[in-house]
Structure formats: C-alpha cells, structure tokens
Structure 1
Amino acid sequence: MTLESEDARRAPPGQRKSDPEICRTVRPGVVFGRAVWHAEGPPRTGVTAVVETGLKRQVMEAVEDVLGLLREASQVAARIENALAGTDLTVDRWRALTFIQSSPGCSMSDVVDALVIPSTSATRIVDVLVEIGAVFRTVSPRDRRRTTLRSSAHGQALLRAVEPEIVRAGPPEPTEKSVP
C-alpha cells in the first residue's frame, strides 16, 4: 500500500501513471485529512482509492445505526411472534392482514411493496390467509388480470383478538445508544 499526496501520484509529462516509478509501495496513512491507498501492480494495473476519512467515519456510523435498527426490528418481531402464539397468524401473516385490512381492494403488488418482501413470499402468505378464511381474493371488476384482496369478518376478528396482546408486548427495551 502507498500513501502519497495528490500531486505525488500524478505522472510527470510523458510518463504513464502505471509505470513502476509512479507505483511505489508504502504504508496507508492520512495526508491533509485524506486517506490514500495505492496498490502496486504490473504496468496498467495500479489501483488508487482515495477515501475522505470523515466520510469513512460517517459511513461506519451509519452502518452501526442500521445494525442497531435491524437488532431492534428483530426484537420487535420476536415480541409480536410471542403475542401471536396460539393463533393462525405469524408475524408476516399479521403484517399482510393488517395491510389488507387498512387497504381494501389492494393488489398483490401493493402487498409486496408495503411489506417489502418478494412476490413469491407474498403469494404464499396470502394463500394461507385465504385458506384460513381471513382474506377474500377476487378478480378486479375493472381489470380482469388484477386480483384484489379484502379482509373477511374472520380476518377482522383475528386482528381484534391479537391487538391487545401485541399492545401488551409493548415497545422494545431501550438500548445503550437510545438512553441519553
């Protein structure tokens, strides 16, 4: 790895940047707040990557934040799963049924978009909801190629029955980062 200033990396007039004199190997470091890594290789394969150290730090902090959110989402899903135990609903079925209840006449693509899941998963979930009588699947009167979804009285009763348990499950425990 090499560390050199922006000017030092430029090839002199008449010389290619990939020439061995330009591609020297040294340790990575920081020059004027910029980390510069320069990997030596045969002619024409020298690779230079310049990364703003501040930007790198911001990216790593964002990754940590996303991982924290994923951890919290997993905890919420586990709490909801416990609340749904003993019913015909799983977390994904509950999410789909809740969306269908709030969006009568929605399509399968609406479910896919709302739940951010693959279409095959949405089809399996809705198939089970139809089997247990929680959802009606009908052909759209305006477009026969489109299927619309509506929750049934049984689906509405399922949602009403699990709502107190889900509310009792409550918000996730505060994490170290969320405590001031």
Structure 2
Amino acid sequence: MTKWTVRDYAPADETPWLRCRVLAFLDTTYYDDVATAKPQREAGLQLVAVAGDELIGLVDASVTGQEATIETIAVHPDHRRMGVAQGLLDEVCGRLQARGATQVDAWTRDDEGTLAWYRSQGFEQRMRYLHVYASDPDEAGRAFGPRPDLTPRFGFFHAWTDHEDALRKEFGRVYSCRQFVKPLGLTPGDR
C-alpha cells in the first residue's frame, strides 16, 4: 500500500490538481465537468493528498457561517480504495468544524459507488433536481424552441423532478443532482 499524507494546497499544485480531478471524474457522470484552471474559493479550505511527489487526491470546501460545502473531492483512479477520500474528508471536516461549521453538504450525480460512499460517511440526501443536457442540435432546437435569429447547438439545464420521466424520454443525458448533508461532530454511528 502506498504511503500518503494530507497537506494544504499550494499554487504549484494547480497542474497536478487539474490532472487528478479530470482523471478522477473521467469514469463518472461528471466526466464533462472539466476545468482548465483551478477554481478559487473564498473562505474555504483546499487540501491535497500526496504520495511522495505525486498528488493523488484533493478536496476543496467553502464555508459560510455554520454551513460548509464540499466543492470538489476526487481521488486519482490509480489510488482508489486506499482510504484517501476518507482521509481527505476526515481532515476537511475537522478543519471546517474548527472554523465553526456545524454541517457540511456535498452535491453529486447518479454514480452508485459515490452515493453509497457519501451515505457510509453519515451524509443523508436532502434534495434532488435534474441536470438536463441537450447534446445535439435536434435536442437543443426542441429545448430552446424556434427562433430565426439563433441556431442552438447544445444546452445545459436545471429542472425539477416533477416531469423527470418525460425529460428522460426526450433527452439522452439526464442526471439526478443530489445534495447530501452531514452534521459535523457526529460519526455515522451517532445518529
């Protein structure tokens, strides 16, 4: 097993951070969420897991008063199932609690392994809506409606779940976006 540690993100980590995130998301429903520069977070935490000189995992979280959000958590595919995500989550939750946060939330899509992992960490699903993609000109044209001055090529939409079946029939890419929430200071067995 590879020995790894968690430390604060440094500006020199940007390129390996981007690579790790892309590779971690590639086999998930977030495969299309590609960043070409690391998003900057105000009042947040940015941590990375490293094995030697290699960045193998990352977590970014934002804090607003007593509420915090995990903006990104990812583990390089070659380093999964080694406790890296658990280590990153434990560290970031401890630091968030030290900053006064009493709960943390995270948003994710339909990946069963990811959903099971969040649940195993004491998160509970609070809400859900849909990410709907018009992935080709025909879907985009139907979504936008006729406009002689615009030719839609693709689109990304948020939708509520009250007409999910119809949207899934009309569009090839529809994902559930789920908010999971966890109170800080409790372990999964405390509930």
TM beyond 0.5: no
TM-score, normalised to structure 2, is: 0.19
For the pair shown, which has the larger CA radius of gyration, 1 or 2? 1
**Larger RCO (alpha carbons 8 Å, 6+ apart):** 2
TM-score, normalised to structure 1, is: 0.20
Q: Which has the higher strand share?
A: 2
Q: Which has the higher helix share?
A: 1
